[in-house]
Amino acid sequence: MGYLRNCWYVVSWSQDLAIGQPFGTVVIDEPVVVYRKQDGELVAFEDRCLHRFAPLSAGRCEGDRLRCMYHGLLFEPDGSIAEIPGQEQVPDQARLRRYPVAEKHSWVWVWMGDPAQADEKLIPPAVGYDNPDFVLGHGQIDYAAEARLVCDNLLDLSHLSFVHIDSFGAGDEWAGRVPKYTRRERSIRVERWMQADINARTQASEPMDRYQVYDFYLPGIFLMTGGNFPLGTGEKLGFAEPDLDDAISGVTFTSQAVSPTGPRTARYFFNWGPHRRHGDEAFRDQLMVLAGKAFAEDKAMIESQQTIIDFDPGRNPVPIKADKGVILYNRMLNAMLAEEEGATAEVASHGWAGQPVEAE
């Protein structure tokens, strides 16, 4: 499957990158090293010395520069060679590949495609630690599965009624009714009103209406919020979007990022927590325990799904109504890939793309 290159991928939590400590990772099957200059500004390179391909992430920061610790080549933040031990002249034209890198919403983002198109405005509006309204916890999980399968999971929350019975205690409502999908420019909005939901997580003792909404930004950012409203609010609003400031409880926000590392591996970053008016650190910690349990359930399901797919990768899925988001996502992704590299043919062969979609 082709990877989208002209997009921002999350590679780390902002707070995990200390000045002077190069960090090696893998994005769309390419090794990447990220480090901070003395002023905190980030630099991202291919994690491969020009000389004999040692990883620069095993290197040493020297001020703003990064030294390969195999034979000592020293690189400027622009990727040029500052120094080669044992020789006076250094080749002018040799350059490490440099990736645009950004820091926003507590995440470090890398742009793997055409640098000229790297626009920070394309970074989705996640909620990070710099947002004082939310009390957030966070975590990350490595998947032995394609990023695509993790995205599918997030694009169809009907699985809550089955995968997460023991964690979220989700009822039939999630699977019973297909939510509203709206195609946006680079994202899909998914909304649902759940009437008379008794949400155990908010200790609500009486029936309420719950509004839940997420935006899934392609290729893999999931931003979800919602809140509880007095019984009947949904109907009163004609099931339109409410003002979350009017919620009486249960307003939380979760930002999640699915980053493809290799053909069968992905890294999943998530935070979650209540709005300060709707919960405190103790509640955030409860949510983290819950997330730990629920995301382990997802991981088990998705990795076993990958195992089954690998027995016979050519199968075509039988589409159901709940696939709306997945189908919409695949259409949009295919279009973006096609625009980027004429990759339609290859991607369409996945079999998701040819399904009917009503939500547009």
Binding-site ranges for its own copies (CB under 8 A): 26, 29-31, 47-48, 50-55, 58, 67-73, 84-87, 91, 94, 152, 156, 158-159, 161-163, 172, 175-178, 300-301, 304-305, 307-309, 311-312, 315, 317-322
Of 96 and 102, nearer to its own copies (C-beta) is: 96
Least Cβ distance, residue 245 to its own copies (angstroms): 31
Closer residue to its own copies, CB minimum distance, 39 or 312? 312
CB of 143 to its own copies, least distance (A): 15
C-beta of 63: minimal distance to its own copies in Å?
17
How crowded is residue 153: how many other Cβ atoms within 10 Å of its Cβ?
A: 21
Q: In the complex, what is the shortest distance from the CB of residue 282 to its own copies, in angstroms, rounded to a whole number?
A: 32
Task: Identify which of residues 107 and 181 has a Cβ nearer to its own copies in the complex.
Answer: 181
Residue 296 contacts residue 139 (beta carbons within 8 Å): no
- Residue 102 vs 155, nearer CB to its own copies: 155
Minimum CB separation of residue 280 from its own copies in Å reads 34
Nearer to its own copies, 229 or 329 (CB): 329
- In the complex with its own copies, the residue whose CB is nearer, 67 or 275, is 67
CA distance 134 to 4: 31
The β-bridge relationship of strands 42-46 and 208-217 is unpaired
Give one DSSP letter per residue of 331-360, joined into a string. HHHHHHHHHHHS-HHHHHTTSSTTS-----
Those residues whose C-beta lies under 8 Å from the C-beta of residue 152, and which sit 6 or more positions away, are 326, 329
Eight-class DSSP state of 115: G
Instruction: Give whichever of 192 and 210 is closer to its own copies, judged by the CB atom.
Output: 192
The SS3 call for residue 3 is coil
Q: Cβ of residue 25: shortest distance to its own copies, in angstroms? A: 12
CB of 299 to its own copies, least distance (A): 12
The residue whose two tokens read 């159901």 is 320
The CA distance from 78 to 123, in Å, is: 23
Nearest distance, CB of residue 336 and its own copies, angstroms: 22
The single-letter DSSP state of residue 170 is -
C-beta of 71 vs 277, nearer to its own copies:
71
Nearest to 223 by CA among 273, 178, 257, 194: 257
DSSP 269-284: EEEEEEBTTT--HHHH
Q: How far is the CB of 308 from its own copies (least distance, A)?
A: 5
Tell me whether residue 286 or residue 341 sits nearer to its own copies (CB atom): 341
**Those residues with Cβ within 8 angstroms of residue 66's Cβ, 6 or more apart along the chain or in another chain:** 22, 33, 35, 43, 45, 56, 59, 60, 74, 75, 77
Burial 173-203 (b: 16+ CB within 10 A, else e): bbbeebbbbeeeeebbbbbbbbbebebeebe
102: enclosing H helix or E strand: strand 101-104
